[in-house]
Amino acid sequence: MASGKIDTHQHFFPKAYVDAVGMDVLAAQMPNKRAPDWSPERAIAMMDAAGIAEGILSVSSVPRIADPIRVARDCNDAAAALRQQYPGRFGAFASLPLPDIDASLAEVSHALDTLKADGFILFTSYDGAYLGDDRFTPLWEELDRRGAVVLIHPNAPSYALPAVAPASVLEFPFETTRTATSLILAGVLTRFPAIRFILSHAGGALPYLFPRIALSLNMMPGVIERVGDPAAAFRAFYYDTALAAGAPVFAALEQIADPTHILFGTDFPMAPDFGLKTFAAELERLDAPGLSRAAIYRGNAALLLDRAA
């Protein structure tokens, strides 16, 4: 399996997560209104069928819950236990009890120093504050000091959900676009360059909005001086292919992304079996001269997560 794919966007449902969030909440976000089914055995069966050597585990979206400090710790310990139980098959992006900054800094230490996590999963907003907000600066300082990897995953928005489609259909990619733009506007990418930010689902709508956002940055007083080159900001992000493989997406990423910053992701078990097959077929049809299928499947993630050996 040494040459197999690395799935950087794979979810798991430890007991602490299920008890805190509730499967009914997850079901409400899904287009079919049914909560996904997960077990480590089902995950490994999916990976074996798809030629995936390793899945980097993270929890999916989390609403406001009671005792987030305990839940984050329990989820992180559960991921570490799976890594021990199935050597080489799972990595982990650890959870943080945000918006509690002090508790999150303590969990950063536990996750990296004790559990040896591969990085962290952060959600697009907390209590209505997107990740470019100044309140997150102490966390960015610590993660920059440690050169951490951060997967940014959409969460249920703080605003009233429009009566158009379930949250996962439109609001999730829009939330990723908002928080990525907030990071650019706040100059987080330039002030904390050692953090490697991964945007879920190919950045939502971000790649397609590059011309509009770049123009706007140059029009907003004082912003371009803080941001620098808009193209460099877009290239600083990593983009995963979870629920986002296809010719239009690849065409956009080929224009705005660093080709070494595109990562394979499945969004298992949120993506149904037929969805996994559909997006896998799109990746196999990849026809973009600037992009390498082998690099997307494994090479880029191997470098990012120190799996090159």
| pLDDT tens, the chain, 309 aa long | 446 999 999 999 999 999 998 888 888 878 888 888 999 999 999 999 999 999 999 999 888 888 999 999 999 999 999 999 999 999 999 999 999 999 999 999 999 999 999 999 999 999 999 999 999 999 999 999 999 999 999 998 888 888 888 888 899 999 999 999 999 999 999 999 999 999 999 999 999 999 999 999 999 999 999 999 999 999 999 999 999 999 999 999 999 999 999 999 999 999 988 889 999 999 999 988 899 999 999 999 999 999 975
Encoding tokens for residue 131?
């990740």
Put simply, whether the predicted model's pTM sits higher than 0.85 gets the answer yes
> Could you read off the pLDDT of 97-119 as tens digits, one per residue?
999 999 999 999 999 999 999 99
Contact 93, 151 (CB under 8 A): yes
Contact 295, 288 (CB under 8 A): no
Selecting from 1.10.10.10, 3.40.50.720, 3.40.50.150, 3.20.20.140, what CATH number does the domain 5-304 have?
A: 3.20.20.140
Is 114 exposed, middle or buried, given 0-12, 13-18 or 19+ CB atoms closer than 10 A? exposed
Contact 133, 181 (CB under 8 A): no
Compute the distance between CA of residue 81 and CA of residue 90 in angstroms, rounded to an integer: 10
Name beta bridge partners: 126. Answer: 129
